[in-house]
Structure 1
Amino acid sequence: MQIRLREIHLPMRHPFTIALGTTTVQHNLLVELEQDGVIGYGEAAPGLAYTEFTVESMVKALEAVRPQIEAATLTTPPELWEKMLPSLGHNRFALCALDLAAHDLWGKLQGAPVWKLWGLDISKVPDSDYTIGIDAIETMVAKMKEFDGWPIYKIKLGTSDDLAIVRALRRHTDAIFRIDANTSWTPEQTIAYAPELKELGVEFIEQPLLRDNWEGMRRVRAECVLPVIADESCLTEEDVERCAGCFHGINIKLTKAGGLTAGRRMIDAARKHGLQVMVGCMSESSVGISAIAQLLPLLDYVDMDGAVLIAQDIAAGVRLEKGKPIFPNENGNGVQLLPGAFA
């Protein structure tokens, strides 16, 4: 195989604010793997909560194993993942970009979509939400109206007016709401807010507490009237078992986990522990989003609106029509770079 690495710059459609900060331009890593004249694409997206994982650190990690990658012939992505784990386990973001590219390449070489090679059926899959970042209340309402008609909205919270935000948004839609506090609440706040949030049509609360506050999460799980879903508390397969007594479900981010191979392992582990499963996205292009889509038949919930949140995509692939995933007639993850994407 040959490997090529490229930093991509993705301006956001609007400044995207969560409890941890604001992003106006997302800087991601694009990995291209080529074998027998066929190219697979993968992506990884650094996040505000994981400042040690930058494009530069991912490139450094992958360059260190370039000789191993280029000496290998792709047979199956899990085989490559296992081979690279000892060298890339310290940087799951880099491992993710490589693994997504390997899956896309594998499917293209096999002449079928990845979901089909896994024996899955995409005739019935969950709809995605659309995420509304923190802003002035009137701006958050305007952002929701810009994408009117979606069945589900994910609302980022972590302000002094969190309940007022949800009340205001509810006046403009009958859609399902999901709340993501990004570790900004206390156990007391979470338990106190939940009854009104439930009345306001909220489906669940994602990661209300700091990622290591396990005692607090056990209390929240026992006393909160809404389900709670782990995000920052569940990064890799090793975290799943610990989440079982503290959350009702987990939100898997492929970038943090180490790719599709790791994501499937986490799904299996979650099911063994009776946890619901969601896969979420970072701010990323259709390269990363299309990889997430391969898992859709295995999921209870999905948040794959990353390519909608950016101003201009670099690729075509699985897309969303008001939250409904639309699969292209393409092999692999369904990814094709757009002409002039890097002009």
Structure 2
Amino acid sequence: MKVTYRSLNIPFKHPFTISKGTKTHQPSLVVKLELGPYSGYGEAPAIQYYNITVEQMIEDLEKKKIFVEKFAFTDPERYWHYLHHLFPQNPFLVSALDMAGWDLFGQIKQKPLYKLFNADTAKVVLTDYTIGIDTVERMVEKMKEKPWPVYKIKLGTARDISIVEELRKHTDAVFRVDANAGWTTDEAMGKIPVLAKLGVEFIEQPLEKDNWDGMKQLYEKSPVPLIADESCVFEKDVEKCSGYFHGINIKLTKCSGITPARRMIARARELNMKVMMGSMNESTIGSSAIAHFMPQLDFVDVDGPLLLAEDIATGLVYDFGQVKVTGAPGLGIVAEF
């Protein structure tokens, strides 16, 4: 195999603010694996609060590039195990390479990923569209700019309730709330019942990731489902979240790729937990990988290409919440790389 890569820094259409801060661009690493006539693509966005930069991914890849290329590729699961031991401290890089491996494998087998997953494509889930924290006037403007059936509202401020009350005046759409660990237990206890009455479908990561005592209290009293994000990063975290959250949000980049994500879904189902897969503001490359999982999910957040001002691939069609893949082998994308 041959591996090449490209560093991206894609601007957002609007500054993107969550409880942890604001950013105007999304840095990402895109990798390409070439094997015979096939080219497989993968993407890993860099997220500041996980302390893995694009520069770190490139440095680690360069150090062991020869080993990445020498692997005798036959199937992506075997490849993931190899990569997992090759880069034990860099799950983001493993995820990008794992994604590219699955893209290759689908092309070799001449099947799109959802068919390799034996997914029931009759099941349709709608993606939400994310409204980042801003002045309430700007948040209303962003919502009106993008009429959509499901919105994810980023919260974690002193004015959370007034924000949702104002947004609710302008739409009957489903609301989901993501606090990004921005509340204390007492704040969450007060806010969640009010948000439920305002038509919020679920709350994502209300408390700090290690506040298990607080989560237990919320879990026992919340009138809406609570979904783990920052508290559920790797496979081992799924079981830990059982009895504290009603569901998990899997991020491909954080968990180290498609291969472990499939196992996380299976374990969550065994524990009777809801399953969401979320965006980390990927371009169409990374978003396509998420889209192939949609038949297996209860909720999905795959709006990265809608939030970014530019893209480097085609292959996804967005239609008022519905996301359609091309049906071409692998990820089914055409990349400008």
The interval holding the TM-score normalised by the smaller chain is over 0.9
Counterpart position of 1:319: 317
Q: Say how many residue pairs are matched.
A: 337
What do you get for the CA RMSD once the two structures are aligned?
Answer: 1.1
Q: For the residues of structure 1 that align with 2:154 and 2:325, how far apart are their CA atoms?
A: 28
Letter in 1 for 2:23: T
Q: For the residues of structure 2 that align with 1:316 and 1:128, how far apart are their CA atoms?
A: 18
Counterpart position of 2:145: 146
Counterpart position of 1:48: 48
Judge which range, 136-145 or 57-66, deviates more.
57-66
The offset of 1:196, in angstroms, is: 1.5
Is the 2:314–2:333 contact (alpha carbons within 8 Å) kept by the matching residues of 1? yes
- Report SS of the residue matched to 1:160: coil
Counterpart position of 2:165: 167
- Report SS of the residue matched to 2:29: strand
Q: For the residues of structure 2 that align with 1:196 and 1:307, how far apart are their CA atoms?
A: 32
Counterpart position of 1:123: 122
- Report SS of the residue matched to 1:49: helix
Identity in percent = 48
1:299-338 matches, within 5 Å, as 299-338=297-336
Q: For the residues of structure 1 that align with 2:17 and 2:43, how far apart are their CA atoms?
A: 22
Q: For the residues of structure 1 that align with 2:93 and 2:283, how far apart are their CA atoms?
A: 16
Judge which range, 105-114 or 245-254, deviates more.
105-114
Letter in 2 for 1:17: T
Letter in 1 for 2:6: R
Q: For the residues of structure 1 that align with 2:244 and 2:153, how far apart are their CA atoms?
A: 22
Letter in 2 for 1:122: T
The offset of 1:86, in angstroms, is: 1.3
The offset of 1:299, in angstroms, is: 0.5
Is the 1:92–1:255 contact (alpha carbons within 8 Å) kept by the matching residues of 2? yes
Counterpart position of 1:240: 238
Counterpart position of 1:182: 180
- Report SS of the residue matched to 2:97: helix
Is the 2:284–2:314 contact (alpha carbons within 8 Å) kept by the matching residues of 1? yes
Q: For the residues of structure 1 that align with 2:48 and 2:56, how far apart are their CA atoms?
A: 15
Counterpart position of 1:136: 135
Counterpart position of 2:215: 217
Question: If the length of structure 1 is used for normalisation, what is the TM-score?
Answer: 0.96
Q: For the residues of structure 1 that align with 2:23 and 2:153, how far apart are their CA atoms?
A: 16
Counterpart position of 1:270: 268
Counterpart position of 1:11: 11
The offset of 1:61, in angstroms, is: 2.0
Unaligned runs of at least 5 residues, structure 1: none
Letter in 2 for 1:266: M
Q: For the residues of structure 2 that align with 1:160 and 1:117, how far apart are their CA atoms?
A: 46
1:11-35 deviations in Å (ceiling 9; x for gaps): 1010000000111011100000000
The offset of 1:111, in angstroms, is: 1.2
Match of 2:292 among 291, 294, 306: 294
Letter in 2 for 1:190: A
Q: For the residues of structure 2 that align with 1:232 and 1:57, how far apart are their CA atoms?
A: 21
Is the 2:235–2:263 contact (alpha carbons within 8 Å) kept by the matching residues of 1? yes
Letter in 1 for 2:274: Q
Unaligned runs of at least 5 residues, structure 2: none
- Report SS of the residue matched to 2:46: coil
- 2:35 is the counterpart of 1:35: yes
Q: For the residues of structure 2 that align with 1:79 and 1:46, how far apart are their CA atoms?
A: 25
Instruction: Give 4+ residue runs of structure 1 displaced > 3 Å after superposition.
Output: none
Is the 1:217–1:247 contact (alpha carbons within 8 Å) kept by the matching residues of 2? yes
Is the 2:95–2:256 contact (alpha carbons within 8 Å) kept by the matching residues of 1? yes
- 2:106 is the counterpart of 1:103: no
Is the 1:191–1:225 contact (alpha carbons within 8 Å) kept by the matching residues of 2? no
Letter in 1 for 2:115: K
The offset of 1:193, in angstroms, is: 1.0
Counterpart position of 2:190: 192
Counterpart position of 1:62: 61
Question: If the length of structure 2 is used for normalisation, what is the TM-score?
Answer: 0.98
- Report SS of the residue matched to 2:48: coil
1:31-62 deviations in Å (ceiling 9; x for gaps): 00000121011000111321x20001111222
The offset of 1:221, in angstroms, is: 0.5
The offset of 1:125, in angstroms, is: 2.1
Letter in 1 for 2:207: L
Judge which range, 124-133 or 314-323, deviates more.
314-323
